[in-house]
Structure 1
Amino acid sequence: MIEQIGNVKMNLTYYTGEDQYSDGDIEDELLKIVQNYKDFDDVIKNDTRWPILYHLSKYREHIIEWYPFNENSDVLEIGAGCGAITGALSRNAKSVTCVELSKRRSLINAYRHQNSENIEIFVGDFNKMKFDRQFDYITLIGVLEYAPSFSNSNKPFHEFLHYIKRLLKPNGKLFIAIENKFGLKYWAGAREDHTGEFFDSIEGYREPKGVCTFSKNELQRLLEECMLGNTEFYYPLPDYKLPFQIFSDKRKPKVGELRDLIHNYDNDRLELFNEDIVHDLLNLNDNFSFFANSFLIIASVE
């Protein structure tokens, strides 16, 4: 079954009639906003709630818009949510196939980009979907950490990545954005992004809650075990959600470049030490990448 929103197709073939992921009633407000506004700057300026900023900020696109996509490429966006980066993908590729568990979130995405002619949104559980083609690029922006929530496998991350690898063209690229479990902000007093607990990830997650992030070494090892070990690591700051700087192993930050990174929009936090000073010392000792707050990894088949 296809539902048309402007030029956007919503494919409901795999939709069970129940949204399996939701941020709550705020999504009804978001739907009304995207139905009535084309530009969200004034909305964000007058409504300072975190979900409004997170879902509608144009700065979300920074994580991906810089990449030189092939304009004739096909992109699979897994976990498209409310469409924060769908527009950037749509502008830079021939076609964008979105996957999202929630119909309500998919409606927000569809209305937001209803003038785009190259977007199709599949609603439902990605693990149950069948695709008849492979893709040049696949994105997992804030998605990989939730793999255990939708799998009964004792190796959910491996299973998830093996399935994704089958959907990649031989020279295709996989984009993964995820928090670093050892991010400096967690040591300095920020709450873990998913559990809301202090020091949770750096203590190995005290109580399993269906979500798990990784260190750089753990991510590299996981991708190698899934034969996706040809990787480039990038370091978005303050983090991948609202990045204003993106560094790489070829261009790491210099002393004095990292300042005022203590922004925390969604939770209260502690300030246990001066992060500016610690960043400078980490850079001097070549330890920046271990303590980066989050990663963007571009991986391909070895």
Structure 2
Amino acid sequence: MQENVKIGNVTLNFKHYSGVDLYSDGAIENDLLEIVKKYKKEEYQKVIEERANWPILYHLSEQRSNIVEWIPMDKNAKVLEVGSGCGAITGMLSKKAGEVIACDLSRRRSEINATRNQECDNVTIHVGNFRDIEPDLPRDFDYIFLIGVFEYGQGYIGTDNPYEKFLRMLQRHLKKGGRIVIAIENRLGLKYFAGCAEDHLGSYFTGIEGYSPDSVAKTFTRNGLINIFKKCGMNEYHFYYPYPDYKLMTLLHSDDYLPKFGELQDNVRNFDRDRLVLFNEKRAYEDLSKDGLYPEFANSFEVILGPGFDTIYSKYSNDRVSEFKIRTDIAIDKAGRKVIKKFPLTEEAREHVFGIRDAYLGLVEKYRGGDLEINDCQINEQEGCAIFSLLMAYRWLHSLISVLIEMTWRHLKLF
């Protein structure tokens, strides 16, 4: 077999490929390969709607990449993606970084990845078991991503204490100041108590009750992960909480910005298999959050091992037309203040986001000399976003009530 093969601009490296795909979703992968050969990325949503099945949604939805899109990354960053699969994350990493080296067990999945991302000229995919590929990898990565991969540590490493050994292997390839990013289900995610089957094994309460020694995958609680990190000497970690989970994330919370009352509304849907509905998850989350327990029962974790980020919250609006697809962040600025940042998710949305500044200036002029204070809006060209001060709700509500009282008073004076 030829060691290096090109699909478009992407290089596939088969040096460590055994000739057998060690992981497969079955015949659906043949369908996926035909789809990515036939359709452009902009047409994937139409295919998802027509096919109406979980594997197509899972592999082709643009929401899959939300889990890494929010992460600020230098355009020259060097990235390793372990377990790149069919490429749902790879394309976004290529867009954000200078170089992406990906690894995956499966030739077929890697061909799907390369085909859908064939315009990316900074991606190399190594096909084979990570244990075999690892010695050949560079040792100066800025980021190492394990998105839905760490739970398979036993299969990747296959020794005693595989998860600790997995992390230690990765640490050897991280430059000083670099970051490892792990996205994984929470073993005690509320949805598993409420009637969703365990994602990897398909049985109810499996993770809650504890995995058998021969389980193909194993997820962890928050403390379970922290214990693994500390055993590996990794004492700098930052937990984020993707909602409804990391696979199709629309909200991202952190320990510095946890969900507010009534915010978590999207609980019942479960695309991959039938589920039970044993109780009202929204109400349960509200009560748990009131007692500060949301981090223990969030459905998924995204952990940054290494230096943290200024972002403490993100909300995605992928369900809009292209002209209005945006991401809204709450971040801590250099002065320690909380600010709101709005980023366009498409080129078409740039006009909308940058136009907010013009709307702000128009409102300032319209209400100049009045009692209504307009929240400031600045454009950060370097980050490509609009920035606002974060105003607490009571200030906004006080202003609204004042305006309503004034309007009512004027109306009454007419009579």
Give the TM-score category using the shorter length: over 0.9
**What is the 5 A alignment of 1:219-258?**
219-258=225-264
Which residue number in structure 2 is paired with residue 168 of structure 1?
174
Q: Give secondary structure in 2 for the equivalent of 1:185.
A: helix
Q: Give secondary structure in 2 for the equivalent of 1:235.
A: strand
Which residue number in structure 1 is paired with residue 16 of structure 2?
14
Structure of higher RCO (CA pairs closer than 8 Å, 6+ residues apart): 1
Is 1:158 equivalent to 2:160 in the alignment? Answer: no
State the identity %. Answer: 47
- Which runs of structure 1 show a deviation greater than 3 angstroms over 4 or more consecutive aligned residues? none
Separation of aligned partners in 2, 1:285 and 1:69? 35
Is 1:95 equivalent to 2:89 in the alignment? Answer: no
Separation of aligned partners in 2, 1:133 and 1:192? 35
Larger radius of gyration between Structure 1 and Structure 2 = 2
1:151 deviates by 2.9
Q: Give secondary structure in 2 for the equivalent of 1:264.
A: coil
Which digits, 9 at most, give the CA deviation of each residue in 1:181-208, with x for residues without a partner?
0000001011000111111101012563
Gaps of 5+ in 1: none
- Whichever residue aligns with residue 230 of structure 1, its letter is E
**What is the 5 A alignment of 1:95-174?**
95-129=99-133, 130-174=136-180
Of 211, 216, 219, the residue aligned with 1:210 is 216
Separation of aligned partners in 1, 2:62 and 2:290? 33
Separation of aligned partners in 1, 2:44 and 2:53? 13
Q: Give secondary structure in 2 for the equivalent of 1:40.
A: helix
Which residue number in structure 1 is paired with residue 79 of structure 2?
75
RMSD of the alignment, in Å?
1.3
Which digits, 9 at most, give the CA deviation of each residue in 1:110-157, with x for residues without a partner?
000111111110000111112133200000000011111233311111
Which residue number in structure 2 is paired with residue 29 of structure 1?
31
Which digits, 9 at most, give the CA deviation of each residue in 1:44-92, with x for residues without a partner?
0101110000000000011010111111110000000000011110110
Which residue number in structure 2 is paired with residue 182 of structure 1?
188
Which digits, 9 at most, give the CA deviation of each residue in 1:253-272, with x for residues without a partner?
01111113121001111111
Q: 1:238·1:263 contact (CA, 8 Å) conserved in 2?
A: no
Of 26, 29, 48, the residue aligned with 2:52 is 48
Q: TM-score, normalised by structure 2?
A: 0.71
Which residue number in structure 1 is paired with residue 387 of structure 2?
none
- Whichever residue aligns with residue 180 of structure 2, its letter is L
Separation of aligned partners in 1, 2:249 and 2:239? 15
- Whichever residue aligns with residue 20 of structure 2, its letter is E
Aligned residues: 302
Separation of aligned partners in 1, 2:212 and 2:154? 16
Separation of aligned partners in 2, 1:20 and 1:163? 21
Q: 1:237·1:261 contact (CA, 8 Å) conserved in 2?
A: no
Separation of aligned partners in 2, 1:82 and 1:151? 21
Gaps of 5+ in 2: 308-415
Q: Give secondary structure in 2 for the equivalent of 1:174.
A: strand
Q: 1:50·1:266 contact (CA, 8 Å) conserved in 2?
A: yes
